[in-house]
Structure 1
């Protein structure tokens, strides 16, 4: 995971604003319509509609294929059906229907036919054919139970013929629908302006008559019907809630109802239509089909209702289709109004905020995670948000779905591109620069820390590591070139792996010597502790190689390691054409001197007091001496690490105690006692042997009174 800096925060915010604003802008308004379609589909597939179809306040009387295939309608023009339609309407009204609406229009009458028939027109021969139908229309209209439909248009308006208009006294309402730019019906108009006056649409008129109320429009433009403030995302429209995908509305076959009248079963009409709003319409496969929010999964032309007289067709099951009969669109609008179930859509401001917030989360994730992790985050957030949106849509609230998701995807792509071109350019450079010098985990830590080395040089607190093989020149003379290369490659690889595994950086190899640093380029507050751990492991690893590896067998290789901590200049240092990431300071020189000083004491590892102080008490130490090395006037205390704290062996503890006692006597000028204590452990401890010789020499020839216990080391 990357650390996010101020520049990346600004980039994240800008990308979220751009992506969110783009997808919530008016030019991409179609996406909001697609959100409604997706939510409609997802809700149906995940939740469905658990309402009882019998409770539907609206039913459909369907002029269906069965009607066209059933006598007396079979083979007859629809203009000749008017008498039977009037009879069925009377039966429905007598059955207790609250109001009946026409989603079919008869713009002409058979009585108006001017086709010659004998010595007169056919229309004159059947004069009075529509009389009973017109009487039925007038009777129902006078009681407020009938509303005919019309299509408003400047070019080709479609209205019932003049006789029907007079019969219903202009109880006619518009059947026009609201079609979005993609030709999908997601909303229904609430009213139309006719001769300067607002006139309710068909669905609103039917719902208002059923509720014995009048729609009222307030100052804010909100239409209120019997206490229900109809939500309108688009002015003067109702957003349709296809909760049941058409299967929540029963459909009665007109042919069966006509046969039911012949049968005289008035109870059936009371059971079917008592207290209902009835819509008469066509549900043919080729006539008045509408594309709605149900088109992704498919909607249904209602549910076949109970039968009265005719046997059910061989197959009454209706398959889901991309389009539905227009009468069910109006029926859905009526049910939404009666049940206060129209969809509430958030305003443009809330859609913008959600899109920006979604994009900001994804852009932030893409800024700190790898592209794969960011993509997984986008997918997980999309799934979670979709679940919330579907759950909210179950309560008729449509949160935007496509806009936030696509804004997030766009922000993801933008941030990945930004990182590749700008933000990660420096990281890629560093990875490439240090790929051959640092372990991958160290490079990852350096990048994650956010503290990159300043190219050109910077002061850092580090621990330097110097190692060198003892007497290697004489050993190398006895080896063939191939043997020498194989041995060195094995040795350097083993030591380098240990150094890098503890966070160190190998600066260079000088023959058989290794120069490394801890604390740079990767920032490491525990660099001293890790450097000591690496030195101890290098010591143990060489012993293992001497005992088990064929290339080392019989060589008896030994090495010396010097450690020192302090401030140093690290960075890319060299010529304008060729440079290297390296380190310079007196801290480096002292570490090199300490590596060489091991040969005086016979130790493998020598550490400065500065490193001991920075190791935070992680190890058990033995103070070796107070020394003055070449090139430094001030003496320093040097130590040997024995083991991790509280893990030293009993033998190591005894040696350390004997050595500490001898060193105290040495500094007190009691050289004879010091020699005695050092000699007690000198058999297998080179530092004790070294000090025992020095103590015996001074015991025999005491130093002057101004003598100080500082060991002057000559040479490197």
Structure 2
């Protein structure tokens, strides 16, 4: 099934990474509600991590707090007290007074009702008394709180901006009176955007917040000032106020919010303008100030901090003249309620309890100081680029990295991107998507980890199956941990190679039946292979009765030459054991020859992409093969080169056999017989000493002396074939001297 899937889909690390990135891009473009909500939460975290910022000094909040309620009585107060507040703030030099309070119905005043009943009664009785009528008229004026407030607004030196709200389309408003809508709109007619410019005919159909009808202040108060703005706020799905609508359409007219109208009044009353393009609102402007908004006309609020960031002053303290008059000089004063039980609680990124009028203060401050949060025009491209680059970078690294490196890189990329988004948020006011790129990072890490686990387990299984036949279990385990060593291709390394061969195998095989031959070969090869595995050898191949083994690869082994020598000695010891076993089976006595060389060679998987073998190649390998065959000349069991001796001396007893020249090569090589570990029996040490003395005389062409030393060696060990070989050479060369230019080199003519 896995092969079918792989052939159909070509699943690899690149496919996994690309697929994850494409899914991330699709989710980003489609907009997953849950993930979009998570993104909003990350914006809140950016606010919290940034902390509070010092706001401008233009804004003061006049709050109807618990202290004010305690002194002035329960809310709502008689509007005469609010008229006093307007007078006090105006006399104190306030530049703008904004009301986050609505005056929807006439003020309930029993005194005014009584006066008006008396007037009605006098008219009904037909009583005509000018003095009484004047008195009642003056009393009515004093008792009419709505008029008192309207008069205070009218004479105020400060610009007064009233608040109202819209009923938004979609609300349940049955039996709406069209005449009522027209009357309400007339009361706020001057609160519209003065200049509306469409870039095309299609722009006239752009989507903005649309209202059913306004709920304006009573006519008497509304007519006292032309400045008014809505204080509607629309929370996100989680109830948090992050945006404020800067444009609401009602009956084809566009209206501005309380905050924008306050800024306009503070700037001296320049016209409000809005530019609308095909895709939505392009720009808002008041005088020299420009306000960046989203396509639907909403502005992301750049909160200055927690509740109380802007100064709060109790209305009761203002009415009682407890606040220095210079406090309000040239200030914007926003009036609203914060007392327990009467003010509108709002949820913001900083707090779940936040006064609504302070949200307006934040928006006003943003506009006055041009300190906005916004989604730049390039934000969408940036978000998608982040998804692609972060995902691709991590995928490339994970494809080759070790687990710790992969985890470290994933965490580093995650932290870097979070830091980058936070930095741009704080320093540039740019709100970039954090959720989707980070989720793609996580998804790439998880998917690649699963993919690598599955593929590595499959690879480990393949390695175990492939190498268990020619490597020891411990070496296979090491390779499984680092499978990269088995990539197709070779690397040049210093290794040791061992070749072994059965002497006279052809003759032996001819004397055995096929069944006996198979049994013989299996028994022999199993025994020799077990010895090789004991010394961490790589069983390179069987070539008939010959064995080729490599030491030091694929798992590095600094003592590869020592292992090769010990393995060779172990093979001879094991051969003694099997000879005893074969004797009862009437299998002929056999001898083997072993050649070992150490040197630089190419090692790796060699072959085609569909079929390859892990093997070694090079002159050093060829020399080992020739040394194995050279045993026939000297009658030895194990021959090693001078290069191997350099790695194992003095751990082993070796005697120099000859100085040879390989066929086709000009360089000479000293070869040695491996006689055993360094602690061999003394008679073997003596034999090696006599032989070495004879070899020295032999090279000086002192044939008689050399012959004597070799003869003495044969007395110590009559079966010592190397001594017999040189004894015979001395007798031959004594009869036919080689001449003064003889270098003592023996040229190898075969393998």
- Are residue 246 (structure 1) and residue 307 (structure 2) matched? yes
Please list, as runs of the form range in 1=range in 2, the aligned pairs for 1:680-695 lying within 5 A after superposition. 691-695=722-726
Structure-2 change in CA distance of 1:166 and 1:50 (3 Å): closer
Is the contact made by 1:624 and 1:637 (CA closer than 8 Å) also made in structure 2? no
TM-score (norm 1): 0.66
Q: Where does residue 137 of structure 1 map in the other structure?
A: 153
TM-score (norm 2): 0.63
Q: Secondary structure at the match of 2:159?
A: coil
Q: Which has the larger radius of gyration?
A: 2
Q: Where does residue 93 of structure 2 map in the other structure?
A: 96
Structure-2 change in CA distance of 1:638 and 1:236 (3 Å): same
- Offset at residue 118 of structure 1 (A): 13
Is the contact made by 2:634 and 2:725 (CA closer than 8 Å) also made in structure 1? no
Whole-angstrom distance in 2 between the partners of 1:616 and 1:352: 64
Q: Where does residue 293 of structure 1 map in the other structure?
A: 349
Is the contact made by 2:497 and 2:624 (CA closer than 8 Å) also made in structure 1? yes
Whole-angstrom distance in 1 between the partners of 2:718 and 2:447: 64
- Are residue 562 (structure 1) and residue 595 (structure 2) matched? yes
Whole-angstrom distance in 1 between the partners of 2:363 and 2:85: 24
Match of 2:381 among 308, 333, 349: 349
Q: Where does residue 5 of structure 2 map in the other structure?
A: none
Is the contact made by 1:40 and 1:242 (CA closer than 8 Å) also made in structure 2? no
Please list, as runs of the form range in 1=range in 2, the aligned pairs for 1:506-655 lying within 5 A after superposition. 516-518=549-551, 522=554, 531-536=560-565, 562-563=595-596, 594=627, 606-607=639-640, 624-625=657-658, 639-640=671-672
- Offset at residue 14 of structure 1 (A): 0.9
- Offset at residue 408 of structure 1 (A): 0.6
Structure-2 change in CA distance of 1:660 and 1:81 (3 Å): farther
- Are residue 443 (structure 1) and residue 479 (structure 2) matched? yes
- Offset at residue 100 of structure 1 (A): 1.8
Query: How far does the alpha carbon of each residue in 1:12-71 deviate from its partner, in whole angstroms, 9 at most, with x for none?
Result: 651453254145324136645644543443553x553253x6x54322222234433x14
Is the contact made by 1:666 and 1:709 (CA closer than 8 Å) also made in structure 2? no
Q: Secondary structure at the match of 1:110?
A: coil
Q: Where does residue 158 of structure 1 map in the other structure?
A: 215
- Are residue 186 (structure 1) and residue 242 (structure 2) matched? yes
Whole-angstrom distance in 2 between the partners of 1:598 and 1:122: 143
- Offset at residue 202 of structure 1 (A): 1.7
Is the contact made by 2:460 and 2:480 (CA closer than 8 Å) also made in structure 1? no
Q: Where does residue 336 of structure 1 map in the other structure?
A: 366
Q: Where does residue 398 of structure 2 map in the other structure?
A: 366
Match of 1:385 among 417, 425, 438: 417
Query: How far does the alpha carbon of each residue in 1:548-585 deviate from its partner, in whole angstroms, 9 at most, with x for none?
Result: xxxxxxxxxxx98533698999899xxxxxx9989899
Structure-2 change in CA distance of 1:379 and 1:505 (3 Å): farther
Is the contact made by 1:366 and 1:374 (CA closer than 8 Å) also made in structure 2? yes
- Are residue 149 (structure 1) and residue 181 (structure 2) matched? no
Is the contact made by 1:619 and 1:641 (CA closer than 8 Å) also made in structure 2? no
Please list, as runs of the form range in 1=range in 2, the aligned pairs for 1:463-542 lying within 5 A after superposition. 464-466=497-499, 496=533, 498-499=535-536, 504=538, 516-518=549-551, 522=554, 531-536=560-565
- Are residue 108 (structure 1) and residue 136 (structure 2) matched? no
Q: Where does residue 60 of structure 2 map in the other structure?
A: 59
Whole-angstrom distance in 1 between the partners of 2:34 and 2:595: 72
Whole-angstrom distance in 2 between the partners of 1:701 and 1:374: 72
Structure-2 change in CA distance of 1:33 and 1:397 (3 Å): farther
Is the contact made by 2:20 and 2:443 (CA closer than 8 Å) also made in structure 1? no
Is the contact made by 1:186 and 1:240 (CA closer than 8 Å) also made in structure 2? yes
Q: Where does residue 324 of structure 1 map in the other structure?
A: 354
Is the contact made by 2:536 and 2:563 (CA closer than 8 Å) also made in structure 1? yes
Structure-2 change in CA distance of 1:93 and 1:661 (3 Å): farther
Structure-2 change in CA distance of 1:687 and 1:564 (3 Å): farther
Whole-angstrom distance in 1 between the partners of 2:447 and 2:87: 66
- Offset at residue 339 of structure 1 (A): 2.1
- Offset at residue 370 of structure 1 (A): 4.7
- Offset at residue 96 of structure 1 (A): 2.2
Is the contact made by 1:97 and 1:278 (CA closer than 8 Å) also made in structure 2? yes
Whole-angstrom distance in 2 between the partners of 1:117 and 1:561: 131
Bigger mean CA offset, 274-283 vs 211-220: 211-220
Structure-2 change in CA distance of 1:39 and 1:684 (3 Å): farther
Query: How far does the alpha carbon of each residue in 1:467-517 deviate from its partner, in whole angstroms, 9 at most, with x for none?
Result: 799xxxxxxxxxxxxxxxxxxx999999746536xxx45879x99x99633
- Are residue 274 (structure 1) and residue 329 (structure 2) matched? yes
Bigger mean CA offset, 90-99 vs 277-286: 277-286
Please list, as runs of the form range in 1=range in 2, the aligned pairs for 1:447-462 lying within 5 A after superposition. 447-449=483-485, 451=487
Whole-angstrom distance in 2 between the partners of 1:233 and 1:533: 77
Q: Secondary structure at the match of 2:31?
A: helix
Q: Where does residue 231 of structure 1 map in the other structure?
A: 292
Structure-2 change in CA distance of 1:408 and 1:664 (3 Å): same
Match of 2:443 among 392, 403, 410: 410
Is the contact made by 2:274 and 2:283 (CA closer than 8 Å) also made in structure 1? yes
- Offset at residue 249 of structure 1 (A): 1.3
Q: Where does residue 72 of structure 2 map in the other structure?
A: 72
Whole-angstrom distance in 2 between the partners of 1:323 and 1:240: 16
Query: How far does the alpha carbon of each residue in 1:398-451 deviate from its partner, in whole angstroms, 9 at most, with x for none?
Result: 333222211111111222233344576334432565468352674157522461
Give 5+ residue unaligned stretches, structure 2.
1-9, 122-138, 169-210, 503-525, 572-591, 675-686, 739-743
Is the contact made by 1:99 and 1:277 (CA closer than 8 Å) also made in structure 2? yes
Whole-angstrom distance in 1 between the partners of 2:265 and 2:213: 29
Whole-angstrom distance in 1 between the partners of 2:718 and 2:444: 66
Whole-angstrom distance in 1 between the partners of 2:715 and 2:299: 97
Is the contact made by 1:15 and 1:363 (CA closer than 8 Å) also made in structure 2? no
Structure-2 change in CA distance of 1:605 and 1:345 (3 Å): farther
Structure-2 change in CA distance of 1:338 and 1:428 (3 Å): farther
Structural RMSD (CA): 5.8
Give 5+ residue unaligned stretches, structure 1.
1-5, 300-321, 455-459, 470-488, 543-558, 573-578, 643-654
Bigger mean CA offset, 324-333 vs 669-678: 669-678
Match of 2:29 among 25, 28, 43: 25
Whole-angstrom distance in 2 between the partners of 1:561 and 1:464: 10
Q: Secondary structure at the match of 1:97?
A: coil
- Offset at residue 241 of structure 1 (A): 1.4
